[in-house]
Structure 1
Amino acid sequence: MKTWALLDDGSDVSLFEQSLADDLDINEKMKPFSLTTVNSPGVHRKGMEANIMVKAITEGEEIEISKAWTVDRLPVSDRSIPQKEDINTWPHLKGIALHTANKADIKLLIGCDTPEAFWVLEERRGRRKEPYAIRTPLGWTLMGPTSKRNDEPFQVNNIQMDETLHSQVRRFWELDHHIEDCKEGFGHSIEDKRAISIMDDTTRLVEGHYQMELPWRHSPPTLPDNRKYAQTRLKHLERRLQRDKALHEQYKKTMGVYIQRGYAKEVDNNQKNTQAPVWYLPHHPVTHPMKPDKVRVVFDCAAKYKGTSLNSQLLQGPDFTNKLVGVLIRFRQEAVAIAADIEGMFHQVKVSPKDVML
């Protein structure tokens, strides 16, 4: 197809009219993009994105324009098309061959995203304020005022397209209006519903602490006697603490705090609940390089004995953790944000007496 093309180094995107796309039988999926001009910043549009090949009528070199977008109409006046009489007016421009397309419509705008279209192969310059011509790989083009009359209207072409910025802003507003933390798009499983039911039916407020029954997968649970396994793990822990006196002191201090605050207490065989399930939890110390003076005691609920563990006997339940995106966005809702921490959080929840050995 033959058409005029405008070289516009003030545009960071190449555009072509929808009528040209129809003539070239280009049929791509319409996608949204944002187009900024001098008078219309950030106008939302829809168009097709395509790669097209262009070349001058007389020149043999082809140039590929990648990711050119279609628009209904290019905001370019036909006054931008150079005429033969414009060249003959200026002595330094005589002899330049301008070729004419079949129609005097400018249906293609080549922006600076195709820099090779602006390469200067030859140049014709006059004095200051006079038009000049350059020969590019697409032929001769004329720049500057070609008429000596000062009463003609002027034309400004400035086009900018930023699809990435538009999508980022749209995503920002979508996040700001959809901050529901609990909804991941999946419903609760049957086991999740059972776990929620146990929590709802058995949770009580007892002496300032919440108390609930353990969400057993099967009642009563199938727990073999793992005392020997736990004793073996304890022997390994003792040898480790004997080798590291500092760790031993810190571990003993942490256990002392548990007993002092009522998180743990010694088992009295005379008061043992023979109806409750029995499972011995191995434990070990965990340290953090940022807190070298603090030792955390981890109770290994995933420790397996004869193919089972305490975790495997309990229902996991749904994930009620707040999503980080929602937490961060809610910091913007009010003037003051407050963060708090529950000390010994996992030790603040009481277990129902029927699930305790004592």
Structure 2
Amino acid sequence: GIQAFLDLIPGTPLQIKGEPSAMHTSLGWLVWGTIPAENPSHLDTALLANVGEPYEPQIDVILRSFWEQEEVSLPVPPSPDDAFCEKYFADTVSREESGRYVVRLPFHDGLVPKLGSTHSLALNRLFKLEKRFDKDTTFAHLYKENLRSYIDQGHLVPAKGSSPYIMTHHGVMKYPENGDPKMRVVFSPAERDPNGQTLNEYLLPGPKLQGDIGQIISRFRLHKVALTCDIKQMYREISLHPVDRRFQRILFRFSPNDPVQEWELTRVTFGIASAPYLALRTLRQLVQDEGSRYPLGSRA
């Protein structure tokens, strides 16, 4: 078959009678023909192993990645924890007279954790925070202003009694190119108690309810105009049941001359492991409860 193939390649081969022929191609010199063997019955076997690192992905890796992206995903049954989380939400969610939803924190197996005291840790963090207030008056003003907004909206109230587990908090400054700096107070439920446990380790994150990013991007191609929206203070629009608020306590005072006070966050708090699930699941509950009254809005 090699001779028929070579007839299709332009060029003049170099031929020597009784020897292999050769021809120069765009791929280099090509040699073909037969070599007379002195002892045709004797065969020598040789193995050549060439190990190297490819400088680009192999074709099978690229194809496998393509197939995985194009493969139609099948529904995955919920894990036992996700199933429990869903049932717990459905059994415990309620609404205030104003219509606002009230949710519970989904602990593992529904068991309330016995966290050790983090009061000393939270107190030391507060003292360090106050030292920064003394050095940076802008930071101090924005920090206190942010917490006052929590108090004014009823999202932060004086705690009744005391709780061993106290969350720490810190401020994150944002400096836009045009405009004044902005402050966001971040509460941390990831501080470890004397036993090495954290609040987030006891909480179930719940099933993933966020839309698939691939599907979201694809939907942008369906219409000429795409609309997006943002829910202001999304987590803080959902009340936390009073029984669970003791796990969302902080220490703070607005003046070093005041006694340190224990405060309680009354809404779902950013940073809590189950907060994304609780927020999105509450939106779905709203659609179930009110979707018939607002059919166009429920579709969004």
Partner of 1:279: 165
Percent pairwise identity: 25
Matched, 1:194 2:84: yes
Distance 2:27 2:176 in 1: 56
Aligned to 2:2: 2
Aligned-partner Cα distance in 2 for 1:203–1:61: 84
- Counterpart code for 1:196: E
Is the 1:56–1:137 Cα contact (8 Å) retained in structure 2? no
User: Which residue, out of 212, 215, 222, partners 2:106?
Assistant: 215
Secondary structure of 2:87's match?
helix
Question: Structure 1 residues 4, 304: closer, same or farther in 2, change over 3 A?
Answer: same
- Match runs of 1:244-259 below 5 Å: 244-259=136-151
Deviation at 1:221, TM superposition (A): 1.4
Question: Could you list the per-position Cα deviations for residues 211-236 of structure 1 after superposition, in whole angstroms to 9, with x for gaps in the alignment?
Answer: 21111225231112222221111111
On the 8 A contact 2:119/2:164 being kept in 1, the answer is no
Letter in 1 for 2:101: Y
Q: How does 1:51-90 map to 2 (within 5 A)?
A: 60-61=21-22
Amino acid at match of 1:314: L
Q: In structure 1, the residue corresponding to 2:114 is in which secondary structure?
A: coil
CA distance in 2, matches of 1:301, 1:56: 81
Matched, 1:303 2:198: no
RMSD of the alignment, in Å? Answer: 3.5
Q: Is the 8 A contact 1:222 1:313 kept in 2?
A: no
Give the secondary-structure state (helix, strand or coil) at the position aligned to 2:193: coil
Measured after TM superposition, the shift of residue 252 of structure 1 is 1.3
Give secondary structure in 2 for the equivalent of 1:3: helix
Match of 1:263 in 2: 155
Match for residue 115 of structure 1?
26
SS at match of 1:356: helix
Asked whether the equivalents of residues 212 and 352 of structure 1 are also in contact (C-alpha less than 8 Å), the reply is: yes
Q: 1:183-235: CA deviations, max 9, x gaps?
A: 6x754322222222212222233334322111122523111222222111111
Larger Rg: 1
Give 1:285 shift: 0.6
Structure 2 unmatched runs, 5+: 33-58, 247-263, 265-300
Aligned residues: 205
Alignment of 1:274-353 (within 5 A): 279-290=165-176, 293-306=181-194, 307-353=196-242
CA deviations 1:73-108 (Å, max 9, x no partner) are xxxxxxxxxxxxxxxxxxxxxxxxxxxxxxxxxxxx
Q: Which residue of 1 aligns with 2:296?
A: none
Deviation at 1:340, TM superposition (A): 0.5
Normalized against structure 2, the TM-score is what?
Answer: 0.57
Aligned partner of 1:242 in structure 2 is: 134
Counterpart Cα distance in 2 of 1:278 and 1:209: 29
Question: Structure 1 residues 57, 301: CA separation in 2 closer, same or farther (over 3 Å shift)?
Answer: farther
CA distance in 2 between partners of 1:348 and 1:60 (Å): 84
Q: Larger % of helix: which?
A: 2
Amino acid at match of 2:26: P
Q: CA deviation at 1:138?
A: 7.5
Deviation of 1:334 (Å): 3.0
Task: Report the 3-state secondary structure (helix = DSSP H, G, I; strand = E; otherwise coil) of the residue aligned with 1:334.
Answer: coil
AA aligned to 2:167 is L
Q: Which residue of 1 aligns with 2:281?
A: none
Residue 356 of structure 1 corresponds to 245
1:90-136 Cα shifts (integer Å, max 9, x gaps) = xxxxxxxxxxxxxxxxxxxxxxxx7336xxxxxxxxxxxxxxxxxx8
Where 2:83 maps in the other structure, the secondary structure is helix
- What residue is the counterpart of 1:226 in the other structure? 118
Aligned in 2, Cα 1:62/1:201: closer, same or farther, shift over 3 Å? farther
**Residue 94 (structure 2) aligns with:** 204
Cα contact 1:56–1:138 (8 A) shared by 2: no
Contact residue 175 and residue 181 of structure 2 kept, 8 A? no
Shift of 1:137: 5.9
Hey, which of these two has a bigger chunk of strand by percent?
1
What 5-or-longer segments of structure 1 have no aligned partner?
9-54, 64-113, 118-135, 140-163
The answer to whether the 8 A contact 2:173-2:182 is kept is yes
2:201 counterpart letter in structure 1: S
Aligned counterparts of 2:14 and 2:141: Cα–Cα separation in 1: 85
Does the CA contact (< 8 Å) of 1:61 and 1:138 recur in 2? yes
CA distance in 2, matches of 1:7, 1:263: 82
- State how far apart, in whole Å, the 2-side matches of 1:252 and 1:240 are: 13
